[in-house]
Amino acid sequence: MKSLFPHTLILLLTAVITLLAVESVSAQESDIDSMLDEASELVESADESGAMEVFKEVLEIDPQNSEAIWNVSVLYAQRGNRADNEDAQQDYFSTADEWAEKCLEYHPDSAACHFSKAVAIGRKAQNAGTRDRIRMSEEIKEHADRAVDLDPDFFRAWHLLGVWHTEVANLNWAERTAARAIFGGLPEGASNEKAEEAFQKAMEMNPNSILIHLDFAIYYEEVGEDEKAIELLEKLLEFEPKLKDDEDLKERARELLADLQ
């Protein structure tokens, strides 16, 4: 009778190889999760350079990792916002936009990827002319709206919508005139009521954010509700700085508070 041992051995070896492969993938995923946690902690401790390095290490292992890609995009946008000349800013903003595009290419239904795209466009719009800025404003809202549709608990997108509604609903006369002449009107849907609603949602989800409190206070100052602005500014000045820009934001808050009092 022919022995079944060789066949059994082959099956056993196949099972072992499969098990080792599964364990390897599982270990890799565990490593990535740990690295993403580390990067997030570095961001929250104001070490954005260290966070960028770790996010990019993740992408060497998993080039399509959505969390790493959108964070890299946003970090480039933030670096650009701190640059001291327009050329350097635009380089950073363009890089941020490239990463956001890559994120959307791999993950078109990711709220975070749409958010990173909205941020990148918004930063690029800072240095654009009136015509381009108005056109880009519509793109910002499109991606921010898509982000909250995909994830209603994504506070960063609600914050961005609050800023968008504040800026568009309160354009100056020259900008309104240009919008009517070029596009036949302002981007649709902008209102102070929606700005307040978006800020409220963002602040409920992240109640200790210095940036959200400051932007919400700016909104209230813009619409003439100075007492509410003062209340928010005084509250945020009690917060401990955590993120890289928090101390600078608190200084801006002190200046605005002095102007309002």
Which residue is listed with tokens 């800072």? 126
CA 221 from chain center: how many Å? 24
pLDDT of residue 241: 93
pLDDT of residue 17: 57
Query: Is 251 within a domain?
Result: no
pLDDT of residue 52: 95
Helices 66-82 + 86-106 axis angle, to 10: 170
Query: Is 81 within a domain?
Result: yes
CATH value at residue 79 = 1.25.40.10
Average pLDDT along the chain, 261 residues, taken 10 residues at a time: 56 56 55 93 92 96 96 97 91 97 98 98 88 86 97 97 93 68 65 96 97 98 96 96 94 96 88
pLDDT of residue 183: 55
Q: What is the number of other CB atoms lying within 10 angstroms of the CB of residue 63?
A: 11
Query: Is 211 within a domain?
Result: no
Query: Is 59 within a domain?
Result: yes
pLDDT of residue 130: 76
The SS3 assignment for 63 reads coil
Query: Is 104 within a domain?
Result: yes
Query: Is 227 within a domain?
Result: no
User: Residue 253 carries which side chain, given as an amino acid letter?
Assistant: A
CA distance 100 to 103: 5
Nearest to 222 by CA among 190, 260, 185: 260
pLDDT of residue 132: 83
In the chain, the number of structural domains is 1
pLDDT of residue 73: 98
Cα dihedral 102→105→110→111 (10° resolution): 60
Query: Is 259 within a domain?
Result: no
pLDDT of residue 127: 84
pLDDT of residue 81: 92
Query: Is 235 within a domain?
Result: no
Query: Could you list the residue range(s) of the whole structural domain that residue 94 is in?
Result: 28-41+48-127
